[in-house]
């Protein structure tokens, strides 16, 4: 049975407990993508609340391919001073500071050019252009440059965003990837882009700690099955990752227009012990097949469910998102036995 209050070590780092604040876009940055006082305050408050590992939200590796307005940018060296202030503020209170690096691909709400592996939309009325191989190589270098900026800014590591139908995720999923070249077809070929990103960062930055976030399961036609999620996880681990962050796509409400395979009533049995749209059972399925630590995440909003995940031994670390948005001291209250004082998330 895992104990989330205990420290954990990976990639030469010691994290004081196993609670994670996962990346959640809050649109607090300045309009040019630079970190400002509002961003720093948001993350510093959660570090004060005793989160062990904080992963800063989807920072754009290419400004023209960010998620939305007031997205944090990591696309230019001029972002480094602000990012350094952010990393320092998080680490000052004992948390480890990572930052997620991301390319929006076909999933953004204001771009003039949408790109992806194929011309399959994940945002209504936005048809992406398939990337050329040369463009894939150019974007790989942008991931490398972003990771280098994160290291120079003092972050303990980066999380590569390969989930939620952003660019790398679109290549990993059979729903969005209909290519017939070296980047499509088999699971190994669909994972090739992600593998190349990981290996390119390794060549440039050596043993700099890397997390990879991926969909372990997708409730869409031709999406990632649990067996394929296991296969992808093993491929990504072999590429040189230090930790896997297992997300998923279950509730079609959050992906309008994508064709779901099941609904809450007809969902697979292995999902039913947890709240609908939780990815924790998927992490539990993948974890025995890899040797790196696994983060589970999804719909954990009270101490009761934290204890259940511990008893069920589903993951090595636990991401708590909306819980720490509602109450920055969610983790501290659990650690100190004051669960009754947690401020609940309200929809």
Residues annotated as catalytic (active site), given as ranges:
166
* Parallel/antiparallel/unpaired status of strands 96-102 and 157-162: parallel
Q: How far apart are CA 240 and CA 114, in angstroms?
A: 29
Instruction: Extract the tokens encoding 178.
Output: 């209909």
Instruction: Retrieve residue 74's tokens.
Output: 């990591």
Q: Which of 149, 264, 277, 163 is nearest to 212 (CA)?
A: 163
Rounded to whole angstroms, the Cα distance separating 128 from 117 reads 8
Cα-only R_g, the chain: 19
**Whose CA is closest to 106, among 131, 87, 88, 82?**
131
> Which residues are CB-neighbours of 94 under 8 A, at least 6 positions away?
16, 47, 50
Distance of CA 113 to the CA centre of its chain: 24
Nearest CA to 82 out of 66, 59, 65, 101 is that of: 59
d(CA 344, CA 347): 10
């Amino acid at each position: 049975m895992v104990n989330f209050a205990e420290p954990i070590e990976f990639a030469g780092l010691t994290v004081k407990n196993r609670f994670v604040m996962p990346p959640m876009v809050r649109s607090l940055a300045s309009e040019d993508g630079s970190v400002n006082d509002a961003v720093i305050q948001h993350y510093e408050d959660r570090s004060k609340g005793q989160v062990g590992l904080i992963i800063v939200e989807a920072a754009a590796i290419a400004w023209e391919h960010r998620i939305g307005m007031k997205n944090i940018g990591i696309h230019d060296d001029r972002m480094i001073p602000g990012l350094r202030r952010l990393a320092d503020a998080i680490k000052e209170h004992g948390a480890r500071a990572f930052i997620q690096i991301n390319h929006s691909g076909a999933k953004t709400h204001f771009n003039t050019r949408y790109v992806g592996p194929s011309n399959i939309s994940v945002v209504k009325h936005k048809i992406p252009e398939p990337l050329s191989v040369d463009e894939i190589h150019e974007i790989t270098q942008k991931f490398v440059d972003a990771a280098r900026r994160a290291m120079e800014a003092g972050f303990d590591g980066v999380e590569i965003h390969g989930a939620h139908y952003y660019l790398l995720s679109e290549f990993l999923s059979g729903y969005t990837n209909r290519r017939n070249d070296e980047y499509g077809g088999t699971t190994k070929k669909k994972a090739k882009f992600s593998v190349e990103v990981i290996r390119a960062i390794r060549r440039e930055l050596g043993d700099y700690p890397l997390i990879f976030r991926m969909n372990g399961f997708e409730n869409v036609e031709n999406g990632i099955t649990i067996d394929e999620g296991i296969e992808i996880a093993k491929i990504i681990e072999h590429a040189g990752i230090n930790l896997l962050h297992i997300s998923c796509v279950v509730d079609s409400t959050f992906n309008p227009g994508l064709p779901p395979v099941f609904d809450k009533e007809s969902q697979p049995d292995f999902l039913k012990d947890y709240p609908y749209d939780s990815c924790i059972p998927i992490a539990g399925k993948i974890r025995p097949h890899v040797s790196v630590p696994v983060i589970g995440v999804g719909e954990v909003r009270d101490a009761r469910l934290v204890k259940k995940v511990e008893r069920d031994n589903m993951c090595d670390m636990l991401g708590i998102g909306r819980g720490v948005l509602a109450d920055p001291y969610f983790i501290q209250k659990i650690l100190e036995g004051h669960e009754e004082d947690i401020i609940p998330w309200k929809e």
